[in-house]
Amino acid sequence: MGKGLPRKILIVLILPCAVYAIFFALQPKRFGNLQTLYIMFQQAFLPSISAWGLCFVMSLGLYDLSIGAIIILSAIVGTNLTLALGTGVGYIWLFIGCLATAVVLELVNATVYNLLKIPSMIVTIGLMILYETAANFVGDAVLPYELSIFGRAPYNIIAGAAALVVAYILYNRTQIGMQIGAVGGSEIIARNAGVRVERVKMNGFLLCGLFLGIASFLSVSYGGVIIPSTRMSSILRLFPPLMGYFIGIALKKVCNIIIGIFIGEMVIIMVVTGMVTMGVPTTYQQVITGLFLLAVVGIATKAKTDEVVK
């Protein structure tokens, strides 16, 4: 164990360091300073938290395309609940509201999936549309500035770091996390070993809900406003976490996926911020980010020759 560890850490750090070095070389005045780094560090938490949630579902081999809609709806319900309940210790209400809504919605996802027995991708597309509509009927989330202390440093970092620790422990150090990994690895063997697969899947969705709740809480605290998206456009919120997850998977061999996801998000944010500071037009940013992701995943994916890739 010990011997390989430094090497692994080194490999893990290559990617972010290389990206940093490139942009630093190109734009030493704008990009290099500590404050940029600090801000990027903060920004990486928000998509990471959703990605950690997503990770519990994707590790099961399932998809959840509704996470964008869930974040929006939970934030809206949470905020309006807070505003209705009084604002003395508002952010506690907000936190509870967001968390409870997200968990309930994921419970719905899991229940519908388990009951209807149709592929999760389809279930979550269908429910995504329903959640979007619901969010649009509830209205906007407008959080007063006094209640959004978790939108700024250092509180957002504390919350993010707490989420990281929780995600890490849940994924690696609990029965639930281990069983999720087992079911994702082989549903049949896990079932044979006495793992209750339906319940594990349910747990995966619920844990996803937990993190989406945190993510929606921090999102609304950070931006102050969340406006519902309709017509499936909430799926656009899925992509940033998904990208981090892809990089996390790519780095899986050398580092734990929870940390890999964070590194992935950090790298993506560095690429984007780097391009912003260089003045690269937004449109090119999209192209470059896409190609970058494809390259990272392409290099890291080494499928065995006989493996079936769909």
Partner 1 sequence: MRGFKRIVPYIGLVLIIVLFSALTGGKLLSFRNLKLIFNQAVVLIIGCIGVTFVMAQGSLDLSQGSLLGISGAMAATFAAITPGLSLPLAILTGIAVGMINGTLLAFFKIPSFIVTLCVLFVLRGLTVIATHSGSIPLPFAMLSLDNFRIKASILVTVILAAYYAYTYTSLGKNMRAIGSGETSARYSGVPVERMKVLAYLISGLLCGLCGWLNVVRTGAADSKTGLLFELDILTALVLGGMPLTGGSSAKLQSAIIGGLMLALLSNGMVLVGIKAELQQAVKGVIFLLAVYLSFERESVVMIK
Partner 2 sequence: MSLLRVENIDKTFVTTRALKNAAIIVEEGEIRGLVGENGSGKSTLVSIVSGIIRPDGGRMFKNETAYAPESVLDAGREKIGIVVQEMGTIDGLTVAANLFLGEERLFKRFGLLNTANMNRRSLEVLHRYGIVNIQPDADIGALTFEDRKLVEFAKALYIDPDLLIVDETTTALSHHGREILFSELKRLKKKKRSVIFISHDLGEVIEHCDSVTVMKDGETVDTVSTRGLNEHDLKELMVGRELQHTYYREDTEASYEEEVILRVENLTLNGAYYDVSFELHRGEILGIGGLTNCGMHLLGKTLFGLKPATSGSVEVSDGNKRITNYVDAIAGGIGYLPKNRDQEGLMLLSSIRENICLPSLSSIQKRGFISPSKERKLAQYGAEQLSIKMSSINQLCLYLSGGNKQKVALSKWLVKDSDILILDCPTRGIDVAVKASIYGLMQELKKEGKAVLVISEELQELIGVSDRIIVLKAGRVKKIFERRKDLTEEEIIHFMI
Partner 3 sequence: MKQHKIFCLVLTVAFSLMLFGGFSLFAEQAPKAEKAEKVEKVEKAKGPYLFGVSIWSDSGPLSKKVISNLRYAAGVLGAEVEVAVDGFKPDNQVSNIENLIARGCDAVMICNCTDAVVPKIVKLADEAGVPLALYFRKINDPEIKKYAESSPYFIGNVHEDEVAVGYNLGSALADKGCRNAVIINYNKGDTTAENRYKGYKKAFAEKGIALLGEQWDILDAEPAANAAESFIAAFPELDAIAVGGGGGGPLSGTIRAVKNHNKIGRIRITASDFGPDIAESLKNKEVAAMSGGHWTDPFFTFILLYNYVDGTPLSKKVETITMQPIYLTSVSEAQEYMKWCMDQPPYNDEEIKNMTVRHNSSFTLSDLRKIAAAYSLQDVIKRHK
* Binding-site ranges for partner 3 (CB under 8 A): 30-31, 33, 35-36, 38-40, 42-43, 46, 135-136, 140, 142, 144-145, 148, 151-153, 219, 222-231, 233, 269, 273, 276-277, 279, 281-283, 286
Among partner 3, partner 2, partner 1, none, partner that 207 touches (CB below 5 to 8 angstroms by kind):
none
Using the minimum distance from each CB to partner 2, give the nearer residue, 35 or 305: 305
Alpha-carbon torsion, ordered 211, 212, 218, 219, to 10 deg: 150
The SS3 call for residue 3 is coil
17 binds partner 2 (CB under 8 A): no
> 166: which 2 tokens?
């929780």
Question: For the window 155-184, what string marks contact with partner 2 as x by the rule CB under 8 A?
Answer: --------------x--xxxx--xx-xx-x
Nearest residue (CB) to partner 3, 203 versus 273: 273
Site for partner 1 in 118-147 (CB under 8 A): 118-123, 125-130, 132-133, 136-137
Which one of the spans 6-14, 35-43, 210-218, 224-232 is the region binding partner 1 (CB under 8 A)?
Answer: 224-232
State yes or no: residue 83 binds partner 1 (CB under 8 A): no
Secondary structure percentages of the chain, helix, strand, coil, to 5? 80, 0, 20
Q: Report CA Rg, the chain.
A: 20
Nearest CB to partner 2, comparing residues 143 and 254: 254
Q: Which pairing describes strands 141-142 and 225-226: parallel, antiparallel, or unpaired?
A: antiparallel
Residue number with CB closer to partner 2 (33 or 186): 186
* Cβ 68 vs Cβ 237: under 8 Å: yes
Q: Is 61 in the site for partner 2 (CB under 8 A)?
A: no
- Looking at the Cβ atoms of 112 and 138, the one nearer to partner 3 is 138
**Per-residue contact string for residues 142-161; x = within reach of partner 1 by CB under 8 A:** --------------------
| Cβ nearer to partner 3, comparing 183 with 226 | 226
Rounded CA separation 151/224 (Å)? 8
Query: How far apart are alpha carbons 227 and 172 in whole angstroms?
Result: 35
CA torsion, ordered 201, 204, 210, 214, to nearest 10 deg: -140
* Euclidean distance between CA atoms 310 and 299, whole angstroms: 18
DSSP for residue 142: E
Amino acid occupying residue 278: M
Per partner kind, with CB cut-offs from 5 to 8 A, the member of partner 3, partner 1, partner 2, none near residue 104 is none
- Of all helices (H) and strands (E), which one includes residue 225? strand 225-226
Residue 219 interacts with, from partner 3, partner 1, partner 2, none (CB under 5-8 Å by kind): partner 3
Please tell me whether residue 207 binds partner 2 under the rule CB under 8 A: no
- Tokens linked to 159: 């919350």
Our finding on whether 298 is near partner 1 (CB under 8 A) is yes
CA atoms within 13 A on the CB side of 82: 32
Helix and strand tally (H, E) in the chain? 13, 2
32 within 8 A of 249, measured Cβ to Cβ: no
Residue 283 CB, nearest approach to partner 1 (Å): 4
Where do contacts with partner 1 occur on this chain (CB under 8 A)?
61-63, 112, 116-123, 125-130, 132-133, 136-137, 187, 230-233, 235, 239, 242, 246, 283-291, 293-294, 297-298, 301, 303, 306-310
